[in-house]
Chain A
Amino acid sequence: MPAWGLKLGAAVATLLALAGSTDYVTHHLKNAAAPLHPPVEDAVAVEATPAPSGAPAPSGTPLPQLVPTRRGQTRPSSSPGPLITLQPGVRATALPQVTLTHVS
């Protein structure tokens, strides 16, 4: 095979890899099991901290602290959410008990 044929084959193979990677990545934007998780929390906390200066800090609603869950998604965690109690909800009734009279 001539050199140009090899080069063409290599270019096509690379383009196929590029197209396959693009297709895969665009269909799998997030991977919760990704091994690397940059510390987003620290960056947000630093940005939310007012710069030390003579001017008074703006008194607005404090931003909720952002905790990274997966890439591109954050959830507020400044205050704990309502707790759900999972206790038995079955109550006894005043009706007479059901008696089975069927005999097979």
Chain B
Amino acid sequence: MDLITWEIGRITGLASYAALCISIVSGLALRTSVLDFLAKNRALRALHDWTLWLWIPLGVAHVGALFIDQTARLELIDLVVPFQTDYGQVAIGLGTISLDLFVIIVVTSWLRRRMNNTLWTWIHRTSYIAFLALFLHAYLGGTDFDSPIVSAISWSAAAGLGLFAVSRIFFGRLAE
């Protein structure tokens, strides 16, 4: 049983990372023109909104499996308050920060119409910090991150997103 939860935790961790990369790149594409060759902003927006249903179940499965896992020994407080574990404090704590931020981002996205738009925008921008924390969580704590193939794909995806994010910050939306 323990091995199954451990495997599910690792599998869903990797898959949710991939799904989250798709979600973030589709979000970045709304403010840059990196995917203009593929689709119009309306379709990209629909994709960005819909990708929640890809990465949330996988993320929940990742956290849930490791919470159930007897060897990982996570407690409920570890899912909310970072740096409380008795091992791998930084690595797991970064995952907790990422989880907390993504929960806030998703909830505020659902409440967007009832919120001040500027506040919502700034909260939504913390997704960059959340993704950075997630990447460091995977880098510092990921069991499979030292594998060349997993590492190459993860670093490439993170580097691509970083490039898009920098272009978004410095250049904004490129001319059509």
Assess whether B14 is in contact with A17, with CB atoms less than 8 Å apart. Answer: yes
Q: Report A-chain residues with C-beta under 8 Å of the C-beta of B39.
A: 1-3, 5-6
Which residues of chain B are within 8 angstroms of A25 by Cβ–Cβ distance? 7, 10-11, 14, 144
Whether B6 and A14, one on each chain, are in contact in the complex, defined by CB atoms closer than 8 angstroms, is no
- A2 to chain B: which residues have CB within 8 Å? 39, 43
Q: Which residues of B contact A (CB under 8 A)?
A: 2-3, 6-7, 10-12, 14-15, 18-19, 22, 26, 38-39, 42-44, 46-47, 50-51, 54-55, 58, 71-73, 86-88, 91-92, 140-147, 149-150
- On chain A, the number of residues with a Cβ less than 8 Å from chain B's Cβ atoms is 32
Pair B15/A10 contact, Cβ less than 8 Å: no
Q: Is the interface of A mostly helix, strand, loop or mixed?
A: helix
A56 to B42 alpha-carbon distance, docked (Å)? 73
A34 vs B156: C-alpha distance when bound (angstroms): 21
Inside 8 A of B143's CB, which chain A residues have their CB?
31, 34-36
**Contacts of A36-94 to chain B: CB distance below 8 A:** 36-40, 43, 71-72
Mark contacts of A5-29 with chain B using CB atoms, 8 A cut-off: 1 yes-contact digit, 0 otherwise.
1110011011001101110111011
Of the candidates A1, A3, A6, A14, the one whose C-beta lies within 8 Å of that of B15 is: A14
